């Protein structure tokens, strides 16, 4: 970046100062809400960072990919074997959705890692994540239930 | 001082002396005297705003600065202080514009680059923060603000691994509180709580009135307590470790339940106990210590 | 000519004859206060009485508190034309001794053993390998008698006393501050035995790691170099300093050979507070007052706070008089009410001190402070 580029205002385009929501909310949204929960919470962060239009398609893609992984595992019969090993009752995909939710959160964190790290070292206090957290949880749980029903219907 | 200042600059020098030592009552006393003689002197008005700012009277400080800038719009220190005030109020965009304006007038001022870099860091623009700091270091390789910004940026990128920026900052300004702060951040990032705690204690000895340092030392003391040692993976790797432990735990327990039910029960209790401990104990110990 | 005497006295500080000559030279140079100080010291060393100096003690008839300009002369350099005048009130000789300081018995005993007796009996203490002189730093909350204690120490030591505050050292002129500091040390060297007292040491020797200006760092460097030079020069100079903020004093100042000993001066204890109240009420109309009871409800009040308490009680009485035109004495109730209304000014300092001891820990120099905080349940 040359000097002129450096002296171009960066913050004037934001309606509100860039910030991140609380990491606890992110974790819980992903853990309970699965891939959809993680994607929604991540999108809330992207909105606060002023890059929603750039990140939303990617996060939707990540969540969709997670569901596709389960579908593919089910199609291959691997899902059933895993459930047997883990002693999971038939139809209870919760553990897989939790795992994939956390994996999606990890992928979303990777995309935003510069922001998270900058917040950590500069001691910036994250914003409370109640609103996006509750929204992500509700939407995530609803999506999980709908997805499991769909799989069972098409088993 | 043993000579009555002969002019406004003399008063300003005295006032600066007291401000440097945070003797704000003495600074106010001399300001009162000085402003009675030179009520419109820009440097004196600037110092008055500075004293108000240091006394947490931000509104008063801002009002004085705006009054000063009406009559002396070129006054660089006043604009710089106003930028700091705006940043404290989270009006980052306006603060940025002020700093950019100053940089256009003083394009080789490393400290201004450093301050702009810190603003970018606070607003989570890591790349630009680092580039600004590097640009400032071209003009003054030992500028404190730029070195600190680089150290923090590189810590953000490198995690707790040693980084060149931090090393340079410690070499150039080993005793500065900012250098210590940067080092503590790096150590905490690396999970080296004990060292971070000792270092922050050293810093607190030199500035025990600094509430930020007190909170930091208190927090590190808690993190470093013997009863928190089992939480070491979570301290070092944060939510990543939590995720692995949750998923790993559930998978292992499910596996045990299916394949070794005899130990699944006790293992579940241990696991649940650890989870409850990791949720409850950190809050409890904060109240106790 | 003055510098010749100073040089001679540096070599032989106990030569009363040279000291008297020096005093005469100072008098000729229109420096009566300095001349009297040298003469007094010479008298302690056995010189005979001289009328011209004795006359200096008597104030002129019906003179108000005179503000005599004292020129601070520059020993060398081109700036002598820019000599700066300072005006100081003509001070009466300070006679404060330990008996004038209320309470603090343990502290006074400790100071007498560690500081005064080694100074007065260097031979005895030398047998036990304890050196007299050196630097001692008194620290504690504001208004608790550090300066008063320092003056009492000087008088107990029967030494000349050189009090140096910020105003004596610092000027707006670059480089002058270091020269003024060096001058003060030279002056002390020529007046042995001498007690030098630096008030507000944190302002003079502000930590270099916190200072943003080179001027501050240069003064500290000069101070350190003078203290180091001093240690080699003599045993008969005691350097005392006082500060409210020991953590702002440059750490190098607290190393061996400099202000290695630090003494905590706490807020006055209950007997001291009671005594201060009694002294403050001495010349004002008051009824039966249980000073001990008031002392009991004024924990952590500084000496200045206790004075303020009595002033507040006076205000209640005077306000009532203005409203009702009824004169009365200060009562116990007035004092108790004032005690309830006032907040001790030491609270902020003690809070900071608590942070230091509780969280920073591990520093032996604050052991006294730690003991005080524990004893008063502040830790």
CB distance C42 to C19 below 8 Å: yes
Q: pLDDT for C159-186, tens place per residue? A: 888 888 777 676 655 567 788 888 888 8
Query: Using CA atoms, how far apart are residues B274 and B280, in angstroms rounded to an integer?
Result: 10
**Substitution target from B247, B248, B249 for chain A, most A beta carbons within 10 A:** B247
pLDDT at C122: 73
CB distance C332 to C290 below 8 Å: yes
**Chains A and C touch, using 3 or more CB pairs below 8 Å:** no
Judge whether residue A90 has pLDDT over 80: no
Residue of chain C minimizing CA distance to B200: C360
Instruction: Give the residue-averaged pLDDT of A77-89.
Output: 74
Query: Using CA atoms, how far apart are residues C359 and B208, in angstroms rounded to an integer?
Result: 9
pLDDT at C133: 57
CB distance C193 to C157 below 8 Å: yes
**Substitution target from B114, B120, B123 for chain A, most A beta carbons within 10 A:** B123
Q: Give residue limits of the domains in chain C.
A: 1-59, 98-264, 270-341
Q: Give residue limits of the domains in chain A.
A: 19-153
Long-range contacts, B165-169 (Cβ 8 Å, 24+): B165/B133, B169/B144
Vertex A64: Cα angle to A62 and A66 (nearest 5):
70
Q: How far is A42 from chain B (nearest CA, A)?
A: 15
Query: Using CA atoms, how far apart are residues B221 and B206, in angstroms rounded to an integer?
Result: 18
Judge whether residue C130 has pLDDT over 70: no
Chain B partners within 8 Å of C206 (Cβ): 20-21
pLDDT at C91: 44
Task: Please list, in sequence order, all residues whose beta carbon lies within 8 angstroms of the beta carbon of residue A128, skipping any fewer than 6 positions away.
Answer: A21, A22, A25
Q: What pLDDT tens digit does each residue of chain B (289 aa) get?
A: 455 677 888 899 889 888 988 889 889 999 999 999 999 999 999 999 999 999 999 999 999 999 999 999 999 999 999 999 999 999 999 999 999 999 999 999 999 999 999 999 999 999 999 999 999 999 999 898 999 999 989 888 876 677 788 888 888 887 777 788 888 888 888 888 888 999 899 889 888 988 888 998 999 999 989 999 999 888 888 888 888 888 888 888 888 887 888 898 899 999 999 999 998 999 999 898 8
Quickly list H helices, chain B.
8-20, 24-37, 42-54, 58-71, 76-88, 92-105, 110-122, 126-139, 144-158, 164-172, 177-189, 193-206, 211-223, 232-259, 261-288
Chain A partners within 8 Å of B258 (Cβ): 84-87
**Chains C and B touch, using 3 or more CB pairs below 8 Å:** yes
Query: Using CA atoms, how far apart are residues A72 and A95, in angstroms rounded to an integer?
Result: 16
**DSSP label at residue A15:** S
Query: Using CA atoms, how far apart are residues C2 and C186, in angstroms rounded to an integer?
Result: 12
Closest by Cα among A59, A66, A65 to A112: A59
Q: Give residue limits of the domains in chain B.
A: 230-289
pLDDT at C64: 34
Q: How far is B255 from chain A (nearest CA, A)?
A: 5
Side by side, which strands form the sheet with C160-164?
Answer: C160-164, C194-198, C237-243, C134-139, C261-264
Chain A partners within 8 Å of B100 (Cβ): 7, 9
Q: Do B175 and C208 touch (CB under 8 A)?
A: yes
pLDDT at C190: 83
- CATH architecture of the domain formed by C98-264: 3-Layer(aba) Sandwich (3.40)
Bigger pLDDT: A84 vs C149: C149
**Substitution target from B83, B88, B93, B148 for chain A, most A beta carbons within 10 A:** B93
Q: pLDDT for C89-108, tens place per residue? A: 334 456 788 888 877 788 88
Q: Do B21 and C248 touch (CB under 8 A)?
A: yes
CB distance B192 to B236 below 8 Å: no
Q: Is B215 on the interface with C (CB under 8 A)?
A: no
Q: Is B23 on the interface with C (CB under 8 A)?
A: yes
Q: How far is B239 from chain A (nearest CA, A)?
A: 7
Query: Using CA atoms, how far apart are residues A82 and A101, in angstroms rounded to an integer?
Result: 18
Q: Do A86 and B157 touch (CB under 8 A)?
A: no
User: How many inter-chain contacts (B to C, CB under 8 Å) are there?
Assistant: 82
**Substitution target from A117, A125, A126, A129 for chain B, most B beta carbons within 10 A:** A117
pLDDT at A87: 65
Chain A partners within 8 Å of B259 (Cβ): 85
Q: Do B120 and A1 touch (CB under 8 A)?
A: no
User: Among B49-63, C18-32, C42-56, C315-329, where is mean pLDDT lowest?
Assistant: C42-56
Q: Do A122 and B120 touch (CB under 8 A)?
A: no
Query: Using CA atoms, how far apart are residues C118 and C120, in angstroms rounded to an integer?
Result: 6
pLDDT at C329: 93
Q: What is the ipTM of this complex?
A: 0.83
**CATH class of the domain defined by C270-341:** mainly alpha
pLDDT at A142: 94
Residue C222 three-state SS:
helix
pLDDT at C233: 62
Judge whether residue A117 has pLDDT over 60: yes
Q: Give the length of chain A.
A: 155
Q: For all residues of chain C together, what is the average pLDDT?
A: 79
Chain C partners within 8 Å of B202 (Cβ): 360
pLDDT at C103: 76
Query: Using CA atoms, how far apart are residues B133 and C220, in angstroms rounded to an integer?
Result: 32
Which two structure tokens, joined as six digits, stand for C12?
């032989």
CB distance B253 to B267 below 8 Å: yes
Long-range contacts, B71-78 (Cβ 8 Å, 24+): B71/B40, B71/B42, B72/B42, B75/B42, B75/B46, B76/B102, B76/B105, B76/B106, B77/B46, B78/B42, B78/B45, B78/B46, B78/B49
pLDDT at C216: 79
Task: Please list, in sequence order, all residues whose beta carbon lies within 8 angstroms of the beta carbon of residue C247, skipping any fewer than 6 positions away.
Answer: B205, B206, B207, B208, B209, C356
Q: For all residues of chain A together, what is the average pLDDT?
A: 88
CB distance C167 to B1 below 8 Å: yes
Task: Please list, in sequence order, all residues whose beta carbon lies within 8 angstroms of the beta carbon of residue C88, skipping any fewer than 6 positions away.
Answer: C67, C68, C70
CA B167: distance to chain centroid? 18
Q: CB-based burial of residue B58 (10 Å sphere; 0-12 exposed, 13-18 middle, 19+ buried)?
A: middle
Q: How far is B261 from chain C (nearest CA, A)?
A: 49
Closest by Cα among C298, C309, C302 to C348: C302
Chain C partners within 8 Å of B194 (Cβ): none
Q: Is B127 on the interface with A (CB under 8 A)?
A: yes
- To which H or E segment does residue A85 belong? helix A78-86
Judge whether residue A154 has pLDDT over 90: no
Q: Is B243 on the interface with A (CB under 8 A)?
A: yes
Compute and round to an integer the Cα radius of gyration of chain A.
18
**Chains B and A touch, using 3 or more CB pairs below 8 Å:** yes
Q: Is B69 on the interface with C (CB under 8 A)?
A: no
In A54-113, the residues whose Cβ lies within 8 Å of chain B are 84-88, 95, 98-99, 102, 105-106
Query: Using CA atoms, how far apart are residues A111 and A120, in angstroms rounded to an integer?
Result: 16
Residue of chain B minimizing CA distance to C247: B206
Q: Is B97 on the interface with A (CB under 8 A)?
A: yes
Q: Token pair 């503590």 is at which residue?
A: B184
CB distance C36 to C53 below 8 Å: yes
Vertex B176: Cα angle to B172 and B177 (nearest 5):
145
Instruction: Give the residue-averaged pLDDT of A86-98.
Output: 71
């Amino acid at each position: 970046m040359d000097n002129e580029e450096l002296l171009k205002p960066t913050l004037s385009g934001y309606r509100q100062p860039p910030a991140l929501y609380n990491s606890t909310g992110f974790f819980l949204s992903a853990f309970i809400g699965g891939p959809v929960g993680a994607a929604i919470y991540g999108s809330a962060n992207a909105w606060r960072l002023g890059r929603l239009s750039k990140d939303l398609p990617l996060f939707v893609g990540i969540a969709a990919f997670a569901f596709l992984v389960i579908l593919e595992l089910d199609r291959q019969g691997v899902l059933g074997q895993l459930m047997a090993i883990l002693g999971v009752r038939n139809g209870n995909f919760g553990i897989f959705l939790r795992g994939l939710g956390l994996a999606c959160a990890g992928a979303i964190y990777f995309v935003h890692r510069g922001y998270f790290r900058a917040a950590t070292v500069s001691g910036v206090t994250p914003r409370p994540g109640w609103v996006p957290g509750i929204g992500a949880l509700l939407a995530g749980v609803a999506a999980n239930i709908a997805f499991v029903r769909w799989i069972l219907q098409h088993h | 001082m043993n000579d009555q200042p002969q002019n406004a600059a003399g008063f300003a020098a005295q006032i600066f002396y007291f401000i440097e030592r945070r003797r704000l009552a003495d600074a106010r006393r001399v300001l009162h005297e000085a402003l009675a003689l030179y009520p419109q002197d820009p440097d004196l008005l600037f110092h008055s705003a500075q004293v108000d700012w240091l006394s947490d009277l931000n509104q008063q400080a801002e009002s004085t600065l705006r009054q000063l800038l009406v009559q002396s719009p070129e006054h660089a220190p006043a604009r710089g202080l106003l930028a700091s005030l705006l940043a404290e109020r989270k009006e980052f965009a306006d603060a940025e514009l002020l700093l950019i304006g100053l940089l256009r007038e003083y394009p080789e001022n490393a400290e201004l680059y450093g301050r702009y870099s810190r603003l970018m860091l606070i607003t989570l623009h890591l790349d630009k923060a680092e580039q600004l700091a590097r640009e400032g270091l071209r003009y003054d390789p030992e500028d404190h603000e730029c070195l600190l910004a680089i150290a923090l940026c590189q810590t953000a990128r490198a995690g707790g691994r040693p980084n060149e920026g931090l090393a340079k900052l410690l070499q150039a300004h080993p005793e500065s509180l900012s250098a210590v702060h940067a080092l503590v951040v790096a150590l905490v990032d690396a999970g080296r709580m004990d060292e971070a705690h000792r270092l922050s204690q050293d810093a607190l000895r030199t500035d025990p009135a600094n509430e930020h340092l007190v909170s930091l030392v208190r927090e590190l003391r808690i993190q470093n307590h013997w009863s928190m040692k089992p939480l070491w993976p979570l301290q070092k790797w944060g939510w990543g470790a939590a995720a692995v432990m949750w998923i790993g735990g559930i998978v292992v327990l499910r596996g045990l339940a299916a394949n070794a039910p005899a130990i699944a029960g006790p293992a579940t209790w241990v696991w649940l106990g650890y989870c409850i401990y990791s949720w409850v104990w950190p809050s409890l110990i904060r109240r106790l210590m | 000519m003055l510098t010749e005497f100073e040089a001679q006295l540096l070599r032989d500080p106990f030569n009363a004859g040279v000291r008297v000559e020096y005093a005469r030279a100072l008098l000729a140079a229109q420096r009566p206060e300095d001349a009297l100080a040298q003469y007094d010291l010479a008298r302690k060393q056995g010189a005979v009485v001289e009328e011209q100096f004795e006359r200096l003690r008597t104030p002129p008839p019906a003179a108000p508190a005179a503000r005599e300009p004292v020129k601070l002369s520059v020993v060398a350099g081109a700036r002598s034309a820019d000599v700066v005048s300072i005006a100081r009130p003509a001070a009466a000789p300070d006679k404060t001794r330990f008996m004038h300081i209320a309470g603090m018995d343990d502290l006074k005993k400790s100071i007498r053993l560690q500081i005064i007796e080694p100074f007065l009996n260097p031979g005895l203490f030398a047998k036990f390998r304890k050196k007299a002189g050196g630097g001692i730093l008194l620290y504690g909350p504001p208004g608790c008698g550090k300066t008063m204690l320092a003056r009492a120490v000087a008088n107990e030591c029967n030494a000349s006393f050189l009090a140096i505050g910020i105003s004596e050292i610092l000027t707006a002129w670059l480089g002058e501050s270091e020269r003024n500091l060096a001058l003060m040390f030279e002056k002390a060297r020529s007046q042995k035995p001498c007690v030098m007292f630096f008030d507000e040491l944190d302002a003079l020797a502000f930590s270099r790691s916190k200072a943003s200006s080179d001027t501050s760092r240069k003064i500290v460097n000069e101070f350190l170099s003078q203290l180091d030079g001093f240690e080699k020069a003599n045993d008969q100079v005691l350097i005392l300093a006082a500060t409210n903020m020991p953590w702002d004093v440059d750490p190098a100042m607290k190393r061996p050979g400099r202000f290695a000993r630090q003494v905590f001066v706490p807020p006055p204890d209950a007997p001291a507070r009671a005594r201060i109240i009694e002294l403050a009420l001495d010349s004002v109309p008051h009824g039966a007052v249980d000073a001990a009871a008031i002392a009991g409800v004024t924990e952590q009040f500084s000496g200045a706070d206790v004075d303020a308490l009595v002033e507040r009680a006076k205000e209640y009485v005077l306000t009532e008089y203005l409203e009702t035109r009824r004169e009365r004495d200060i009562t116990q109730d007035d004092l108790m009410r004032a005690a309830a209304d006032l907040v001790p000014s030491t609270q902020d300092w003690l809070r900071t001190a608590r942070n230091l001891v509780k969280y920073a820990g591990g520093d032996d120099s604050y052991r006294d402070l730690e003991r005080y905080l524990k004893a008063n349940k502040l830790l």
